[in-house]
Structure 1
C-alpha cells in the first residue's frame, strides 16, 4: 500500500484512476483547487483533499508530507483561452514545479502528458523516440515544452515515467472530442456533429478505462523509471472513427462538411468567444491539428508494462451506451 499524491485527480482521466488506486488500498491525497467538483468520490471514504495549485510550488511542498508516489495529471486542456499564457503557466511551469519537488524529495513521479507532445506523424505509427515540433495549438506547444523540461531532470536524478495517451475517450467525457462523439451519436450537425473535410488523417484513440488500468499499476515497476510510454489504441482514419460512432448509435455514417466550411464556422465561434467570454466549441488551430496524421505505436507499453488495449468498437459501444443513458436522464430533468 502506497501513499500517493495526485494532481488533476478530478479530471476525465483522473477520476477513474483515483477510484482504481483507492480500490487497490492505496492512501490517496488529491491536490485540488478550491472549487473542484468532488462528487465523483462521494463513495470513497479514504481520500484526503488539500487545496493547492501546481503554479504555486510551496503549495506542492505543503502537500507532500509522507507521500511516496506522485501522479501528475493536472493540465489546462482547453482549446481556447483569452490569455494564452495560461498554457505555459499550468502545463509547463506547473509541471516543472511538480518535477522539481519530486526531485528534491526523491519521490517517484508518474507524469501523464499527451501524444501531442510528440507532434504530427507520417501515416505509419511512430514510437516514443519520434519528435516533430510542428504545432498548431498552444496546448501542443506547452506539452512539448513540459516533456523536455521533465526529461532534462532525469540525468539529475528524477525518477519519472512519462506517458503519452492519444485522443482519450470513454464514459463521462465532455471535452471537445467527447462533445463531438455525443453530437455525432445524436446526428446533430451543430455544434460538433460533423467530420471536418474528408477525414483522411489518421488518429490514435485511447480508451480511458485502459489508461486507468495501466496507470494504477505502473508505479510498481521501479525498473522502468526514466522511460516514456505511448498509451494509445487503434490508429484509424478520423472519418472511420466518426462513422463507427454513427453506425453503432444510429446505423448511419457521420455527416461530412468541406474543410473550408468548418474553418469558417470555427472562425465565427472564435469571434463570438471574444464577446461572450466563453470558450468556443471549435477553433481553427484545432481543425489544423486534426488535419494531420497522429499515428503512434503502443508496442513498448504492451511489451514492458503489459498494457492492454480494448478493441475500438467494443470501447465505443460501452461509451455510447453511457452517453445514451446520460441523455435519457437529462431529458427527464427538462
Structure 2
C-alpha cells in the first residue's frame, strides 16, 4: 500500500504558517501530494494560505477534538506547531502547545491510523551532551537552557513513548539554528539587529552553534516523510559549526555593515539578561535586543550537532551559510 500511494499522499500539516512551515509548503506544492493544513481561526495568514491552493482547516493543536476531526482520512502527519520563543509573558503557553499540543497530535495520529508522523523538534532538546559534536543517538545533557527547550524535550518524550508502547509510526527531525529569508524569530532577529545596527554590542564570541538553511530543513522533512522503512529514526538537520565571532564576521562581509565596536564580556551579558528579563516580566513586554535569560543561555552554551546522517540517508546537500546570509540580508533590504 505504501508504494502504491506514495505518489499522492494526503498530508496533514500543523504549523504551516511558521518560518519552516512556509518553506515545507512551498516545496510540497511542487509534488503530487494533497495538503491539509490545520490553522487557528485567528491566524493572520489564514486567507493567504487559503488562496494558495492548499486545504485549510480551522483548528488548534491545543484542542484535541479539532485535530482529530481534521486529521481523519489523511495518510501522513508533519507536526511543526510549537511556541518557538525565548520569552513569553505567560510561560504556560509553552506547555499547552509544545507538550499538550504534541500529545494531542500524536494520540490523534494513532486513533486515525496515520501511516507516518514526522515530528519536528530541535537540537536544543539535547542540552549539552557529553559527546561533542553530538549525534542522534547521543545521550542528552541533563540541563536544558530555556523553557522552550525543556518543553520541546517533554513533547518529544511523549511522542517516543507512544512509538515504543503504542506503535506510533514516528520519525523525528532535529534542526539546528535555522537561517534564511523571512525569519522573524531569534536567528533572523539577530542578523537583522547587526545589519540594521540596532544591536549595541556583540556577545559570546567563542560560542559555537550549528547552522542550517531553512530550505535544507524543509527538504529533509519531506525526504524523511517519503523515505520508506525509516520509522523510529531521528535526523539532525544541521551542518555548519561556526563560532559567533566567525558568524558575525560573515554577516559584516555579506552586508557591508561594520560590527558594533563593543564586545560584551560573558558575565556582563548574563547580568544584563537577568536584569532585562526581570523588567520584562514586570511590564509584560519582550526584553530589548532579545536579551532574555533563556536566549542568552542558549547562545552562551551553544551546540555542536552532527547532521551527517541526514546527508547520507536522506540525500540532503547542505547549502552554504554565506548563501543563506545573502538571501536573508537581501530580503531585509527589499
TM-score (norm 1): 0.90
Distance 2:211 2:130 in 1: 16
Q: Return the offset for 1:40.
A: 8.7
- 1:56-75 aligned at under 5 Å gives the runs 56-75=63-82
Alpha-carbon offset, residue 39 of structure 1: 6.7
Kindly tell me: are residues 53 and 4 of structure 1, through their superposed partners in 2, closer, same or farther at Cα, counting changes over 3 Å? same
- Give the structure 1 partner of residue 128 of structure 2: 120
Task: Check if 1:50 corresponds to 2:60.
Answer: no
1:305 paired with 2:329, answer no
Which residue does the alignment assign to 2:5? Answer: none
For residue 170 of structure 2, what is the aligned residue in structure 1?
160
| 1:86 equivalent in structure 2 | 93
In the alignment, structure 1 residue 209 sits paired with structure 2 residue 218: no
Matched, 1:21 2:31: no
| Number of the residue aligned with 1:182 | 192
Q: Does 2:151 match 1:142?
A: yes
Deviations 1:89-131 (A, max 9, x none): 1101111111111122221111010001111246831100111
CA distance in 2, matches of 1:206, 1:23: 22
SS of the residue 1:23 aligns to: coil
Cα drift, residue 215 of structure 1: 1.8
Tell me how far apart the structure 2 counterparts of residues 272 and 94 of structure 1 sit (CA, whole Å).
Answer: 30
Deviation at 1:45, TM superposition (A): 4.0
Deviation at 1:6, TM superposition (A): 0.7
For 1:123 and 1:319, the matched residues in 2 are separated by 32
Contact 2:10 2:76 in 1 (8 A): yes
Q: Is 2:227 the counterpart of 1:221?
A: yes
Report if aligned partners of 1:122, 1:294 keep a CA contact under 8 Å in 2.
no
In structure 1, how many angstroms separate the alpha carbons of the residues matched to 2:17 and 2:125?
A: 22
Change (3 A) 1:83 1:18: same
Instruction: Tell me what 1:244 maps to.
Output: 250
Aligned partners of 1:53 and 1:135: how far apart in 2?
Answer: 27
Asked if 1:77 corresponds to 2:93, the answer is: no
CA displacement, residues 153-176 of structure 1 (integer Å, 9 cap, x when unaligned): 112211111000011111001112
Correspondent of 1:286 among 278, 281, 295: 295
Query: Structure 2 regions of 5+ residues with no counterpart?
Result: 1-7
2:20–2:214 contact (8 Å) kept in structure 1:
yes
Structure 1, unmatched stretches of 5+, are 326-334
CA distance, structure 1, for counterparts of residue 67 and residue 173 of structure 2: 21
Corresponding residue number in structure 2 for 1:110: 118
1:42 CA displacement: 5.7
Which piece of structure 1 moves more, 311-320 or 87-96? 311-320
SS at 1:310 equivalent? coil
> Residue 12 of structure 2 corresponds to which residue in structure 1?
5
For the Cα contact (< 8 Å) 2:199–2:260, is it kept in 1?
no
Distance 1:186 1:82, change over 3 A: closer
RMSD of aligned Cα (Å): 2.0
Query: In the alignment, is the contact (CA less than 8 A) between 1:17 and 1:215 conserved in 2?
Result: yes
In the alignment of these two chains, the number of paired residues is 321
Secondary structure of 1:5 counterpart:
strand
Question: 2:88 and 2:302 mapped to 1: Cα distance?
Answer: 25
Mark the CA change 1:248 to 1:121 in structure 2 (over 3 Å): closer, same or farther: farther
